[in-house]
Amino acid sequence: MNINALEKVALSVRTLSMDAIQKAKSGHPGLPLGAAELAAVLYGEILKHNPANSKWADRDRFVLSAGHGSMLLYSILHLSGYKLSLDDIKSFRQIGSKCPGHPEAGATDGVEATTGPLGQGVSMAVGMALAESMLAAHFNTPEYKVVDHYTYALVGEGCLMEGVSSEASSFAGTNKLGKLIVFYDENYITIDGSTNLAFTEDIAKRYEAYGWQVLRGSMYDMEGIAKLVAEAKKDTDKPSLIMLKSTIGKGCPLVAGTAKAHGAPLGPEGIEAARKELGVPADADFYIAPEAVSYFNEKKPVFAAAEAEWKKTFDAWAAKYPEKKAEWDAWYADKPTGKAEFPVYNIGDSLATRNASGAALTAVTNEYSNLVGGSADLQGPNVTKNGTKDYNPENRDGRYIRFGIREFAMAAICNGIALHGALRPFCATFAVFADYLRPALRLSALMKVPVIYILTHDSIYVGEDGPTHEPIETISALRAMPNVQVLRPADAEESVEAWKIAADTKDKPTCLAFTRQNLPVFEKEDPDWRNTIRCGAYIVKKGGDKPDVTVLASGSEVSLALAAAQLVTGKTVRIVSVMDRELFKSQPATLRNTIIGGAKRVVAAEAGTKMGWEGLATDESCLFCIDRFGESGPYAKVAEAMGFTAENLAKVLKG
């Protein structure tokens, strides 16, 4: 290990970081200054990676969970040879920059995950380690290890305060994810000051209780860090937390060790003091030590050789196991490896859409052998047991994941699985508990990863569990999030189509909302409805070429609308099932008008808040929705008590 060269790498990380932040007049210099040595030794000596190919399948992953310290990552990516130029560094936090304020997957070569919302990064790292263990169990053979890499993350106090990291760390310990190594930047400082203001527990004991191996060292002992990583790797049954004592803002004497270093540029005086302390020329903007450049130039063939050696192993494996190679290609392309046999339903069949979802999930599982997932301790109510074996430390090749009652971590872990590649994740809970996982769903949308969210018990028809479990605003809130596909099917047949759409969607997460109560399979007058529904809505009951009233209904309210229409005399009523409201709203006006049929009055019916339906319904009087919390009782009685009945909808239709 060339300590002198690595020290120059760490120096260059500091200078690039502080100058980029100063130029942007915005950013967080404390972490890059305080953890530069870790970046240097990690990317120079520890990681199995090849900057010339950031998508090498068997590379080690690194997630900067403390994403506010993004310049640490950008600096070391530039220095080590990833496709990130010095001009990119100089445009930190500017519009269109490859160096956004917090790391974004897809925006910057070498960035594995979008981080910044604290705690989610390490939780996604758990998902990546989980994916590695699944793929290793499935593809490795006695002679060849084509999947054999580690997942690393860097966390700060903020990550460990956020509850999602506790959920994910508990999951990782329970599942003995021994190839997960997390570094803890132990500097005892947050924005408000010392961590003692709000954070006093014994982190080591906490992680030992989770089932982790806990090791300690100094952020500034690079040989020591390498030895700690080697020690961590010896325990294959425990993830490792390596606690590294550090000084926030190290190198700038005006702010080092204080909260002032955390979230603001150093300022001209701070930059001047830092350059003097670090021994670089006073006028050396964006200084890079020549020794750092030479070091990584010498490393280029070493990095390339690591990938080339793996490629030799991979090619030999592929030649001996062509069926596995074909499956590998399909998994990484997210293509079917089998044929789905979806259930067929008859008009008049009655079943909850959650049950129809369960049958469709099993079909999709048979079609996509890379589909993995589970629920937040709600396998029965969510109907998610799909005929696959459980994943656990004794069976890494299992496809059903027991997430436990950890909705937020469940979703973040699924993001990590999706980001890793080769596996397609789903997760499930009650619709109302989407609020627990919402921040991770937001990152799914931002990162454009196709995680499938199964959300059952989708309305007041939950019944006896009462208003705490009866979603009112939930579906509307999910629809309000950009790049989230929300599908609320109206019967078993639509549920099958919803699953097909979810499986076909590759660039965004999908939320599937299903009922607890039984719904009838109804006749559909659009003969091509299975294709039309991909526009977001289709005609269930035509009601003539120019209906008097058109009802736009979603989910269980389509059946309610059909029942209400039978109570209306003297007017023609068209019923439209709107499975994907936001997609329907985005269609050209001519298409929307064709489906609506030019009706004088358009009524929207949904057992939830009216938010978002206003632009489709004719006026306020045409919104048959619910803008109050529910009641506890048998679901039919709850609907009656809240006035949400076919009779009352019929009154609205009559006008």
> Looking up tokens 């999706």, which residue turns up?
418
Q: How far is CA 228 from each of CA 33, 66, 215, 217, 565, rounded to the nearest angstrom?
A: 22, 21, 7, 8, 71
Instruction: Tell me the average pLDDT across 620-644.
Output: 98
Instruction: Tell me the average pLDDT across 150-159.
Output: 98
User: How far is it, in rounded angstroms, from Cα 365 to Cα 424?
Assistant: 10
User: How far is it, in rounded angstroms, from Cα 160 to Cα 184?
Assistant: 9
Give the model confidence (pLDDT) of 556-572 as tens digits.
Answer: 999 999 999 999 999 99
Who's near 113: CB < 8 A, 6+ residues apart? 63, 103, 105, 121, 124, 125, 415, 416, 419, 447
Who's near 623: CB < 8 A, 6+ residues apart? 603, 604, 610, 613, 614, 617
Strand 61-64 to 151-155 pairing = parallel
pLDDT of residue 115: 98
User: Three-state secondary structure along 219-261?
Assistant: CCCHHHHHHHHHHHHHCCCCCEEEEEECCCCCCCCCCCCCHHH
User: How far is it, in rounded angstroms, from Cα 120 to Cα 142?
Assistant: 35
Q: How many CB atoms lie within 10 A of CB 87?
A: 10
For 620, the token pair is: 């306020």
CA 509 to chain centre: 8
Name the pLDDT band for 584 (thresholds 50, 70, 90).
very high
User: Three-state secondary structure along 528-579?
Assistant: CHHHHHHHCEEEEECCCCCCCEEEEECCCHHHHHHHHHCCCCCCCEEEEEEC
The residues facing 519 across adjacent strands are 351
Q: How far is CA 179 from each of CA 175, 189, 221, 362, rounded to the nearest angstrom?
A: 11, 29, 22, 30
Do residues 407 and 455 make contact, with C-beta atoms less than 8 angstroms apart?
no
Q: How far is CA 333 from each of CA 101, 141, 327, 330, rounded to the nearest angstrom?
A: 31, 22, 10, 5
Do residues 189 and 261 make contact, with C-beta atoms less than 8 angstroms apart?
yes
Q: Is the dihedral of CA 167, 155, 146, 104 positive or negative?
A: positive
Angle at 644 between CA 642 and CA 650, to 5 degrees: 140
User: How far is it, in rounded angstroms, from Cα 240 to Cα 111?
Assistant: 22
**Three-class SS state of 38:** helix
For 625, the token pair is: 């929705």
Who's near 527: CB < 8 A, 6+ residues apart? none
> Looking up tokens 């992680």, which residue turns up?
207
- φ and ψ of 350, to 5 deg: -130, 120
Give the model confidence (pLDDT) of 383-396 as tens digits.
Answer: 999 999 999 999 99
pLDDT of residue 533: 98
Who's near 298: CB < 8 A, 6+ residues apart? none
User: Three-state secondary structure along 437-490?
Assistant: HHHHHHHHHHHCCCCEEEEECCCHHHCCCCCCCCCCCHHHHHHCCCCCEEECCC
Name the pLDDT band for 511 (thresholds 50, 70, 90).
very high
In the chain, count of helices (H) and strands (E)? Answer: 25, 19
What do you get for the CA distance between the two ends of the chain, in Å? 81
**Three-class SS state of 124:** helix
Q: How many CB atoms lie within 10 A of CB 489?
A: 31
User: How far is it, in rounded angstroms, from Cα 146 to Cα 556?
Assistant: 48
User: How far is it, in rounded angstroms, from Cα 100 to Cα 106?
Assistant: 11
Let me know how long the chain is: 655
User: How far is it, in rounded angstroms, from Cα 618 to Cα 408?
Assistant: 38
Angle between helix 163-174 and 120-139 (nearest 10): 20
Percent of the chain past pLDDT 70, that is, above it, reads 100
For 381, the token pair is: 């109510």
pLDDT of residue 651: 98
Catalytic positions are 407
Whether the full predicted model's pTM is greater than 0.85, yes or no, is yes
Name the pLDDT band for 508 (thresholds 50, 70, 90).
very high
pLDDT of residue 205: 98
User: How far is it, in rounded angstroms, from Cα 199 to Cα 143?
Assistant: 48
Give the model confidence (pLDDT) of 414-473 as tens digits.
Answer: 999 999 999 999 999 999 999 999 999 999 999 999 999 999 999 999 999 999 999 999
Angle at 477 between CA 578 and CA 168, to 5 degrees: 120
Give the model confidence (pLDDT) of 346-363 as tens digits.
Answer: 999 999 999 999 999 999
Give the model confidence (pLDDT) of 99-130 as tens digits.
Answer: 999 999 999 999 999 999 999 999 999 999 99
Name the pLDDT band for 308 (thresholds 50, 70, 90).
very high
Instruction: Tell me the average pLDDT across 303-315.
Output: 98
